[in-house]
Amino acid sequence: MRTRAAVLCGAAAVALAGSLTAVPAEASAPHSAPISRLGKPSWRKCGTTDYPSLQCASLKVPLDHANPDGRQVTLALSRVPHTAERFQGPLLVNPGGPGGDGLTLAGFVAATLPKGVAAQYDVIGFDPRGVGASRPALDCEPGYFGPVRPDSVPSTPEAERANLARAKSFAAACSRKHGQLLPYIDTISAAHDIEAIRQALGAQKINYLGYSYGTYLGAVYAHLYPQRVRRLVLDSIVDPTDVWYTANLNQDHAFNDRHRAFMAWVARHDARYRLGTDPERVEATWYAMRAALAEKPAGGRVGAAELEDTYLPGAYFNGFWPPLAEAFAAYVNRKNAASLIEAYQDFGAIDAADDNSYSIYAAVQCRDAFWPRDWHQWRKDNWAAYEKAPFMTWNNAWYNAPCAFWPTESLRPVNVANGKLPPVLLFQATADAATPYEGGVTMHRLLAGSSLVVEQGGGNHGITLSGNACLDKHLAAYLTDGTVPIGLGEADAACDALPEPKPPATATGAASDKAVPAPSNGSVLHRLLGFRH
């Protein structure tokens, strides 16, 4: 899992058609309702200060695409319309999750792409079924992540029983409130929804940009409807061969590596944080802080589990390291919990939208693929992972534990291998924690004719439109005319990672200034993508 990109050979940028091979038999699937039944979206203005050109609409689709005349659900859509004379069709964007709401992402993508490129597309955002403004929206157990939760590390039988009771309660609540919906909250159904959106837009083919889980969703759509794909961009790529139980165990090791990279960064900036110059000692101090909060939660709100929630975003985006380090230092050096509490509010606290997102996350992942139903297997596997990767292993285990008790049967993962696509462009950072590097390599192998661009040494999750001009140049070229790099190594092109963030020059003394990173494309994008995605 921690293998990094091989040495890359020189790459030439060319447009290349994908080779044709047979798509596996399971690609056959019920099609979405015909456009005459779906109707066309009626767009209305819904612009914001940041994205004034946004328009919104809704679309009804079958809950069960095999029964198009049955119950309907409503998808919320957004659009930034094209303005150029040359029109290349709709560009659907998805932030991942599962459970990420995508309406605002359309505005961000349209505003962040080069103007001349964005102007050629209708950039389309959508809240997948059950998410955000789509209806019905799932919310199995409001306040499920409210503080203070039991310590995530089940070091005593009582701690394990408490966490198991919570997981069982959540699964039962989902069954009571949304039992009729749960069999249809899954990636395959969401892919059929994308096809319904295509039909409703009147487009012969779609373009698609997906981040994180959105890469798996995009690959599944391309598997089911390869003839409908015009351009496909997958950024920070899920390994489609280990969804989802194994993927989460693999994440644990990668998250631990990324947290240790953060500890090493803090040590390199000892002049600012005064936590020591030895990364291992800094890490030991962090775990001592965790132990103290397990005994006495800060402000009655930040216990051990909440501390993990707060520092997890730093594994997704190193732009969050400075405020997280400020809170760490303030708690250790000055016994000041205010910054830590504010960092929790900013990075770790859960609101109603997050409750909805988590409900969808659980519903999709638990339905998509097999999960062990014997808790002894979970205990064995997670203790083994914890020995090498203590940072998030048990927190992650409990996040997914409702799947051990889920009320629906599991589907088989989709084999996304595909030789019927036009050139596909893949982006992957070599030290990504949420979707480790090997996922990008695997997807590259499975999608014939795809091109893989790696961010060498990068650890952020979601790397295009985040400030790296080299990556964005490849993206812009592809969206302009289909140009992709072709290389001879494991990847087709490499870009250097952005420089690490720097601590603020001076302390402000204001907790709010320490907890909120300076606005940038990277920080805006990573707020839109969210965490655990």
Provide the annotated active-site residues.
212, 432, 461
Q: Which of 463, 385, 386 is nearest to 430 (CA)?
A: 463
Which stretches does DSSP call E strand in 54-202?
55-62, 72-80, 90-94, 122-127
Q: Which residues contact 50 (CB under 8 A, 6 or more apart)?
A: 107, 111
- Tell me which amino acid residue 484 is: V
Q: Which residue, chain included where needed, has tokens 């596997």?
A: 381
Are residues 5 and 493 in contact, defined by beta-carbon separation less than 8 angstroms? no
> Exposed/middle/buried for 444, CB within 10 Å: 0-12, 13-18, 19+?
buried
Q: Which residue, chain included where needed, has tokens 């230092």?
A: 329
Give the separation between CA 438 and CA 236, rounded to whole angstroms.
10
The crossing angle, in degrees rounded to 10, of helices 213-224 and 187-201 is 70
Sort strands 12-14 and 55-62 into parallel, antiparallel or unpaired. unpaired
Sort strands 484-486 and 206-211 into parallel, antiparallel or unpaired. unpaired
Structure-token pair, residue 268 = 């390199």
Are residues 323 and 311 in contact, defined by beta-carbon separation less than 8 angstroms? no
Give the separation between CA 476 and CA 425, rounded to whole angstroms.
11
Q: Determine how many CB atoms are found less than 10 A away from the CB of residue 294.
A: 19
Are residues 75 and 61 in contact, defined by beta-carbon separation less than 8 angstroms? yes
> Exposed/middle/buried for 32, CB within 10 Å: 0-12, 13-18, 19+?
buried
Which residues lie across from 127 on neighbouring strands? Answer: 76
Q: Which residues contact 526 (CB under 8 A, 6 or more apart)?
A: 313, 316, 317, 319, 320, 460, 461, 462, 466
Q: Determine how many CB atoms are found less than 10 A away from the CB of residue 12.
A: 10
Look at the chain and count its residues: 533
Q: Which of 464, 471, 467, 476 is nearest to 492 (CA)?
A: 471
CA atoms within a 13 Å half-sphere pointing along the CA-CB vector of 281: 8
Q: Which residues contact 470 (CB under 8 A, 6 or more apart)?
A: 495, 496
Structure-token pair, residue 247 = 């993927």
Strand, coil or helix: what is 208?
strand
Are residues 229 and 281 in contact, defined by beta-carbon separation less than 8 angstroms? no
Give the separation between CA 381 and CA 250, rounded to whole angstroms.
11
Q: Which residue, chain included where needed, has tokens 């994205």?
A: 51
Phi, psi of 275 (to 5 degrees): -115, 5
Sort strands 122-127 and 484-486 into parallel, antiparallel or unpaired. unpaired
Cα–Cα distance list, 294 to 163, 258, 384 (Å): 15, 23, 22
